[in-house]
Amino acid sequence: MVFLKTILVILLIYYGLKILVKMFAPKIFGYAAKKTEQHFREKFGDFAQQNPHTEERVGDVIIDKKSRSKKTSKNDSSDQVGDYIDFEEID
């Protein structure tokens, strides 16, 4: 008889906690999300204000080119974009 009471108490506690979690989990996660958002706004809020391109829509393409005032020769080292890499196939 004691064994059945123990099993019954364990089941009642399990299902009671399950119901409480279903009731309070959305509120707890909502609170955690608000706190996380607040934390990120404190840390990165200044960055959003410093970004000069905040008024553009998502997907806009912006190309900023620096003007080249003096070109001395065609083989100038500033014209080279990167290093050449020769790849070999490995069998």
Tens of pLDDT, residues 1-21:
999 999 999 999 999 999 999
pLDDT-based confidence at residue 54 (cuts at 50, 70, 90): low
Question: 33 in a domain, yes or no?
Answer: yes
How many domains are contained in the chain? 1
* Whole-angstrom distance, CA of residue 82 vs CA of residue 84: 7
Question: 89 in a domain, yes or no?
Answer: no
Angle ∠(65,68,69) on CA atoms, nearest 5: 140
Question: 38 in a domain, yes or no?
Answer: yes
Q: Is the pLDDT of residue 74 over 70?
A: no
Question: 22 in a domain, yes or no?
Answer: yes
pTM, to two decimals: 0.40
**Sequence-ordered list of residues with C-beta below 8 angstroms from that of 53, at least 6 positions apart, any chain:** 62
Domain that holds residue 37: 1-42
Question: 51 in a domain, yes or no?
Answer: no
Question: 66 in a domain, yes or no?
Answer: no
Question: 82 in a domain, yes or no?
Answer: no
